[in-house]
């Protein structure tokens, strides 16, 4: 029996795209619709504390965005994320610069300290912070910053390694003040790496904020999540999670990607 044509093709072409009657994009839309429909059907059979309906969750999302008390928690979460990112970036930049300029510290920072920080769990930092500082905003920011810090160090290390030696040397020949050299030459060269790191850590920060606020805070979406957990309000749990996913996705799509693209064009032009 003669082999069929698609049997002798490389596996990548075993199911040619042209043969499919629907496009992958249309298939994805159908899939989304089917999942929503299945969710709606399942939620009509199950009690709402097991699976709330999409409508209930949607209503809760609207509540979260329009009710004053909830908005206050949203503001707290935004502040926690911003402060944690600021703290992690300040320490991360300082440690990466130290490892870059003082060779003696390189092994300690990149191999020992960062290896340790990277494998230390977020929950561990949160519990230690609660013991050290109590349940407050600083605990939340500290735990989040401790989780983000190794990511910042890893990414900025790459940035420092890619610095053009000739440009740095030129800066040295024009100016003898190291701080000025760093501000005028090194920092702009590091900018694409800083933006890339911000993009990665921003999403992580929002996700970690829930854990840190749930255990160590008295405000923010994580705190609301804890309250919803104790009151068995699964619709609120779903709403907060979807809101976090929405915030991370839209910021990435409309802020970080355009910024990174602009940065890429700027540096490619140079």
Compare residues 59 and 251 and give the one whose CB is closer to another protein.
Answer: 251
Told to check if 232 binds another protein by CB under 8 A, we report: yes
Residue 2 DSSP code: P
Length of the chain: 270
CB of 27 to another protein, least distance (A): 5
The helix-helix angle for 234-251 and 187-216 (nearest 10°) equals 180
Told to check if 87 binds another protein by CB under 8 A, we report: no
Compare residues 109 and 185 and give the one whose CB is closer to another protein.
Answer: 109
- H or E element in which residue 189 lies: helix 187-216
Write each residue from 207 to 226 as x if it is in contact with another protein (CB under 8 A), else as -, in one continuous string. x--xx--x-------x--x-
Q: What CA–CA distances, in Å, run from 182 to 58, 140, 149, 167, 227?
A: 49, 32, 21, 12, 47
Rounded to whole angstroms, the Cα distance separating 117 from 255 reads 29
Compare residues 119 and 173 and give the one whose CB is closer to another protein.
Answer: 119
Compare residues 154 and 195 and give the one whose CB is closer to another protein.
Answer: 154
CB of 70 to another protein, least distance (A): 17
Which residue in 78, 189, 200, 248 binds another protein (CB under 8 A)?
248
Which residue in 33, 161, 187, 191 binds another protein (CB under 8 A)?
161
| Helix %, strand %, coil % of the chain (to 5) | 85, 0, 15
Q: How many residues bind another protein (CB under 8 A)?
A: 62
Which residue in 48, 67, 90, 121 binds another protein (CB under 8 A)?
121
Token pair 């030459």 is at which residue? 185
Which residue in 174, 187, 231, 249 binds another protein (CB under 8 A)?
249
Told to check if 97 binds another protein by CB under 8 A, we report: no
C-alpha closest to that of 249 among 195, 201, 193, 203: 203
Rounded to whole angstroms, the Cα distance separating 18 from 220 reads 50
Cα 67–141–118 angle (5° rounding)? 125
What is the contact surface with another protein in residues (CB under 8 A)? 3, 7-12, 14-15, 17, 20, 22-25, 27-28, 31-32, 49-50, 103-108, 111-112, 116, 119-124, 127-128, 130-132, 157-158, 161, 203, 206-207, 210-211, 214, 222, 225, 229, 232, 234, 237, 240-241, 244-245, 248-249
């Amino acid at each position: 029996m003669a082999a069929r044509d698609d049997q002798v093709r490389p596996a990548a072409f075993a199911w040619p795209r042209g043969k499919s009657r629907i496009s992958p994009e249309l298939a994805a839309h159908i899939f989304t619709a089917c999942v929503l429909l299945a969710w709606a059907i399942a939620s009509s059979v199950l009690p709402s504390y097991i699976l709330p309906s999409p409508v209930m969750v949607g209503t809760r999302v609207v509540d979260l965005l329009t009710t004053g008390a909830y908005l206050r928690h949203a503001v707290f979460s935004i502040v926690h994320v911003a402060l944690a990112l600021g703290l992690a970036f300040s320490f991360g930049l300082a440690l990466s610069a130290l490892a870059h300029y003082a060779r003696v510290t390189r092994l300690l920072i990149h191999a020992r300290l960062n290896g340790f920080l990277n494998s230390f769990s977020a929950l561990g930092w949160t519990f230690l912070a609660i013991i050290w500082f109590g349940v407050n905003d600083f605990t939340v920011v500290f735990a989040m910053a401790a989780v983000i810090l190794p990511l910042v160090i890893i990414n900025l290390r790459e940035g420092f390694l890619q610095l053009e030696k000739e440009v740095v040397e030129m800066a040295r020949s024009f100016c003898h003040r190291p701080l000025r050299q760093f501000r005028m030459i090194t920092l702009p060269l590091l900018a694409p790496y800083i933006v890339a790191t911000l993009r990665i850590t921003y999403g992580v920060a929002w996700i970690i904020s829930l854990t840190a606020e749930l255990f160590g805070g008295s405000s923010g979406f994580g705190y609301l999540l804890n309250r919803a957990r104790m009151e068995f309000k699964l619709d609120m749990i779903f709403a907060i999670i979807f809101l976090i996913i929405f915030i991370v996705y839209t910021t990435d799509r409309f802020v970080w990607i355009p910024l990174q693209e602009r940065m890429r064009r700027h540096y490619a032009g140079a």
